[in-house]
A and B are shown apart, each in its own frame.
Chain A
Amino acid sequence: MKIGVLALQGDFAEHISMLKRLNVETSEVRLPEHLKGLDGLIIPGGESTTIGKMAVAYNLMDSLKTFGQRHAIWGTCAGAIFLSKDIGRDQPLLGLMDIKVQRNAFGRQIDSFETDLDIPELKQATGTKEDYRAVFIRAPIIESVSGDAKILASVSDGRIVAAQQGHLLATSFHPELTNDTRFHKYFLTLID
């Protein structure tokens, strides 16, 4: 199994080191030909506007959309924004997931926070009982899900922060900034 990490901008190295801890082969994706031979892809945190512009500039939009039809993709924060259909403003989106996302929904950096989330699917898939410590940084929320997309996690006021649609996964928070590998393990279960 080989997992690519979109390396246009953002914390792709952090995802790669999490995958290495799980003994998964990885590679960096910057151009369409780098998607060849991959079994899944992670779109990291970063600035969604920068990632979108670089994806357009280097003809990655169509290749990524095609890749997502058959393969697992997980977007964290900026990656979740990039996977969504609608963010209420004009910037390049893959539109692979039936989710509506709002950027910077919790405020500016001083409002960035950590909290524990109860995610039953994650506990079940990894055979663990502990809540998941999630790190939110200028984070987006998932305003709504539609079609086959399902809610995976919400914060205490009910705002959605993780969703799944078949082999596609979106999280507002950053599992790659923690020492908890459970979310990466969960993503690996979505790969055929």
Chain B
Amino acid sequence: MAAPPRHSTMLSISNAGTSQSTGTDRTQVPQSSSPAQTSGLRVPSNRKTIYDRHLNRSRNAELSRASFAYLFGEMVTYAQRRVTGIQDLEKRKDTPSASVCSTYSSTAPPPPPPPLSPAPPPPRLPPNRPLRILSLLHLIHGPLWRLLFQRAADALEHSVSAETPNEYMITDNDPLVNTYISVPREMSMLNCAAFVAGIIEGVCDGCGFEAKVSAHNQPTEMWPSRTVFLVRFGESVMEREKVLERAGVK
């Protein structure tokens, strides 16, 4: 996505709030009270809004694993239903969901749901922005995994091939979503891990590390649902990595 022209967009937004006040009064109008920008959302009188809720309140809260499984199952079924039949896809080309559908279709059912990704987990994670690939991956392997699954991932590896220096692997021997979710038979177990891959990809992108993440079932005798998440960083990330390396940024 191209960045919008910096200056012009800025002006258009803020003008909306203050246009009525220009001209007559020479002194500054307190824009903080300018009504035009505010929304029409109603809030309960007891102030039960998202802003009144402590951010870490649910950090350690738990819910039933079964509930997650049910919701997840419905999400998977829904995603699958949305793309049954080429005509169906064709029909939806012009709707806002077209882009989602194309994602769905290219990866086969079901997709990693993108909306999860922008929700930033950062405040519960260490209060630093990762600058280098490794610190980002450690963030995912450790704190993020613990946040989601109450334990760290099992392994973090770098591709040994000189041709693919941009590939990293995060391994989970026994991923939650594969263990507890039963999905229709015709869908491989792999697809549930795609959900987690989507979350990882979202975190990478969100932190400014453009990446493609895919999930691969690589069972061992001991761990039948062992899953490897392959993280492939984009060209721009690798370029920046080199620059930062030279600059000595950690």
Same complex: no
Residues of A participating in the B interface, judged by any CB pair closer than 8 Å: none
